[in-house]
Amino acid sequence: MKDAQAKLSMGPVLFNWPADRWRDFYFRIADEAPVDTVYVGETVCSKRAPFHAPHMPEVIERLQAAGKEVVLSTLGLIMNGREMHQLRETAEGGADFLIEANDIAAVSLLRGRPHVIGPMINVYNEGTFGYLVRGGARRVVLPVELSADSIRVLAAHGGAELEVFAFGRLPLAISARCYHARSHDLSKDNCRFVCERDLDGMDLDTLDGEAFLAVNGVQTMSYSYCSMIGDLDRLREIGVGRFRLSPHSGDMVRIAAAFRDVLDGRLDVAAADEIIAEETGDMPVSNGYFHGVEGVALKGRLANLPVE
């Protein structure tokens, strides 16, 4: 049965945007975007966090004043004592917020209090799902590679709200190595923050020159943009009530409005796809994982063939 109160979330900015752009993005989301929840916090590289930290209080205040639920997101990979200390500070100082755990260390620190499980934690079966719920998880953002059948099983388990990644380049993996720095003949420790040159990540080609993946610092992402806008009805029918939009350099207010209008029956999928194409520069879109095929495939609407 469809959830009449389906909600939209704006995920954390995954890319290294200049601090002013990062702040202004959240200000506009607060004032204009029809989303219910906004995630803020660095999830990819701890070296980026100090640039955004001075703006964090005013961003949170602006979002809350606009009636948005604010969730604090944590790193997806804890590499050293400094990052562990920052995680502890977030866990201990964020008592007034839900915190999104993207690393199992965060799950341990948050155990016993309400929190969100982020998409970087592998929740593939009922056993893992139940364990996390018993530990205090009130919302689980599912891994991006799950199929409809797997999502249906977890939804039937109950105990926590499900959120599904619905728009944006898919965060596929995170590493100790910085691909962005290496591509510019730099080391991770002396990266010069070259990742900020690519607002939506750096496109990666195969040796044959075919578009393949995208690189975002230490993170590997899909080349295509996931778009579940044609699958919202089916997702709601199997028990998903919340959909995550991942920030990109296009007009995310316009994209959020398109998702909201489709959810509310004011806009058809074809028209929404046109809006998304305009805001992503006609980049290929995909939804294959949900349909149980290769992730790059697009099934069920514009074409029933893999995106080329």
CATH class for the region spanning 7-170+221-291? alpha beta
Q: Residue 307's pLDDT is what?
A: 36
Domain boundaries, the chain: 7-170+221-291
**Beta carbons within 8 Å of 49's beta carbon, 6+ residues apart:** 41, 42, 86
Q: Do residues 169 and 147 touch, judged by C-beta distance below 8 A?
A: no
pTM of the model: 0.94
Q: Report the pLDDT value the prediction gives residue 172, as an integer from 0 to 100.
A: 96
pLDDT of 300 reads 76
Q: Which residue has the tokens 């991006």?
A: 144
- pLDDT for residue 93: 85
Q: Using DSSP, how many helices (H) and how many strands (E) does the chain show? A: 11, 12
C-alpha count within 13 angstroms, C-beta hemisphere, residue 269: 10
What are the per-10-residue average pLDDT scores of the chain (308 residues)?
76 98 98 98 96 97 98 96 94 89 96 96 96 97 97 95 98 94 93 95 92 95 97 96 97 98 96 96 93 91 41
- Residue 111: closest CA among 93, 137, 135, 89: 135
The answer to whether 3 and 157 are in contact (CB under 8 A) is no
Q: What local confidence, expressed as pLDDT, does residue 4 receive? A: 56
Phi/psi of residue 70, nearest 5 degrees:
-105, 130
167 within 8 A of 144, measured Cβ to Cβ: no
